[in-house]
Amino acid sequence: MQEMPLANECNKRRFIELFKKRLQKANICVQQAVEGADVTIVNTAISVTPQYDSVRVGSEDIDLLVLLTALASTHTLPRCGRGKTPDSYYSITSFNHKFSNELLFMHAISGSDTTSALLSQGKNKFISLFLKHEELLNIAASFLNPQATTDQEAGEDVLAALYGGDPAT
């Protein structure tokens, strides 16, 4: 059985270095993420925003939209589309959903590229849970407060509700 060329870590590193050099030779700015490419992409987009009329981030990854919504304060536009699905543009400043303040918490708990989704729980069920138990929004808000000391309790309450328990107990 023949090994895929980029399955070999040494080949992958060589390819990345070669690719970076080619891009740099073409005067394209390159930033390589050591870990958490999503955060590097979002931070780069945010940092260059003052230099341009608009900045667009193209991705099929919901994590980028979540991070941009939570962290950016300008008109950064992530583009999402896959295969034959047409591209959709999202203005993060017009994202005015009921859960916008708790979006990072909900995304982190329900699973993302860097965290595992909870056993047999999907994002839709998680959103439905917050619609059914609006008191969970207040619990999730404690994660945004740097002085909060109830993170563990809040996490336990949300997880209990997710698996059918009473979030108030």
**How far is it, in rounded angstroms, from Cα 143 to Cα 149?**
9
Which of 48, 58, 103 shows the shortest CA–CA distance to 82? Answer: 58
The pTM score is 0.59
pLDDT digits (tens, 9 = 90+) for 59-115: 777 778 778 777 776 554 555 556 676 666 666 555 555 566 677 777 777 776 555
3-state secondary structure of 87: coil
- Residue 154 burial (CB count, 10 A): 19
Distance CA 21, CA 28 (A): 10
**Sign of the four-CA dihedral 39, 41, 7, 62:** positive
* Residue with the two structure tokens 């962290």: 71
